[in-house]
Structure 1
Amino acid sequence: MRIFLPACSLALLAGCATTPAPRSLDTAGLTAVRNQSVAVTSRPRPGFAVLKAGNMMFGALGGLAGVDEGNKIATANGLPNPADAIAQELVIALRDTQGAQSAAPVAVETNDVERIAAQAKGKARFVLDVETRMWHVTYFPTDWTHYQVPYAAVARLIDADTARVLAEASCKVEPGTNAGAPTYDELLAGGAARLKATIAASVATCAAQFKRDMFAMREAAASAVAAAASAPAPAAETVAWTGTMACGARNDSGPNAAAYEAKFSVDVQGPSVRAHRKTADVEETLAGEVRGDQLELRGTGNRVADPARSWGLGVSGAFAPGATSYVGKGNMVVGGRPIRACELRMTRA
Structure 2
Amino acid sequence: MKKLAALISLLMMTGCASVEIIKASPEKISSINGKTLTTVNYEKPDFIAFTPEKAMFGVLGVIAMVSAGNDLVKNNNIDDPAVMLTKELKNKLADRLKSKEIKEVINLSDDSTNEIKKTVEAGSLVFDVKTLGWTFNYFPTNWTHYRVIYSARARLLDPLDGKIIAQVPCTYVSDDEKTAASYDQLTANNASLLKEKLTAAAKACSTIFEQNIFAG
The answer to whether the 8 A contact 2:41-2:130 is kept is: no
Q: What is the correspondence of 1:80-119 to structure 2 with a 5 Å cutoff?
A: 80-100=79-99, 101-119=101-119
State the distance in 1 between where 2:194 and 2:36 align: 34
State the distance in 2 between where 1:164 and 1:113 align: 9
Question: What is the letter of the counterpart of residue 105 of structure 1?
Answer: V
1:41-82 deviation line (CA, Å, top 9, x unaligned): 121111111111121111011111111111111001111221
Equivalent in the alignment of 2:37:
38
Question: What is the letter of the counterpart of residue 103 of structure 1?
Answer: K
Equivalent in the alignment of 2:201:
202
- TM-score where L is the length of structure 1: 0.55
The answer to whether the 8 A contact 1:118-1:160 is kept is: no
Give 1 or 2: higher strand fraction.
Answer: 1
1:224-259 deviation line (CA, Å, top 9, x unaligned): xxxxxxxxxxxxxxxxxxxxxxxxxxxxxxxxxxxx
Question: What is the letter of the counterpart of residue 113 of structure 2?
Answer: V
Equivalent in the alignment of 1:130:
129
Equivalent in the alignment of 2:173:
174
The answer to whether the 8 A contact 2:174-2:201 is kept is: no
Equivalent in the alignment of 1:258:
none
Indicate the SS of the match to 2:181. Answer: coil
Residue correspondences, number? 206
Give 1 or 2: higher helix fraction.
Answer: 2
The answer to whether the 8 A contact 1:121-1:161 is kept is: no
Gapped regions of structure 2 (runs ≥ 5): 1-6
RMSD: 2.0
The answer to whether the 8 A contact 2:40-2:104 is kept is: no
How far off its partner does 1:99 sit?
Answer: 2.6
Distance 1:179 1:33, change over 3 A: farther
Gapped regions of structure 1 (runs ≥ 5): 1-10, 218-349
Indicate the SS of the match to 1:72. Answer: helix
How far off its partner does 1:34 sit?
Answer: 2.4
When Rg is computed on C-alpha atoms for both structures, the one with the higher figure is 1
Question: What is the letter of the counterpart of residue 157 of structure 2?
Answer: I
Q: What is the correspondence of 1:233-312 to structure 2 with a 5 Å cutoff?
A: none
The answer to whether the 8 A contact 1:117-1:127 is kept is: no
- TM-score where L is the length of structure 2: 0.87
Equivalent in the alignment of 2:142:
143
State the distance in 2 between where 1:79 and 1:29 align: 37
How far off its partner does 1:31 sit?
Answer: 1.4
Structure ranking higher on relative contact order (CA contacts 8 Å, 6+ apart): 2
Question: What is the letter of the counterpart of residue 98 of structure 1?
Answer: L
Q: What is the correspondence of 1:321-336 to structure 2 with a 5 Å cutoff?
A: none
1:71-118 deviation line (CA, Å, top 9, x unaligned): 111001111221111122221221233332311225422232233234
Equivalent in the alignment of 2:3:
none
Equivalent in the alignment of 1:213:
212
The answer to whether the 8 A contact 1:12-1:136 is kept is: no
Question: What is the letter of the counterpart of residue 40 of structure 1?
Answer: T
Question: What is the letter of the counterpart of residue 119 of structure 1?
Answer: T
Indicate the SS of the match to 1:103. Answer: strand
The answer to whether the 8 A contact 1:188-1:195 is kept is: yes
Equivalent in the alignment of 1:163:
162
Question: What is the letter of the counterpart of residue 68 of structure 1?
Answer: S
State the distance in 2 between where 1:95 and 1:42 align: 16
State the distance in 1 between where 2:31 and 2:125 align: 9
Q: Give me the identity figure in percent.
A: 26
Equivalent in the alignment of 1:120:
120
State the distance in 1 between where 2:74 and 2:106 align: 23
Equivalent in the alignment of 1:59:
58
State the distance in 1 between where 2:83 and 2:140 align: 30
How far off its partner does 1:184 sit?
Answer: 0.6
Distance 1:120 1:22, change over 3 A: same
State the distance in 2 between where 1:139 and 1:151 align: 14
State the distance in 1 between where 2:68 and 2:32 align: 42
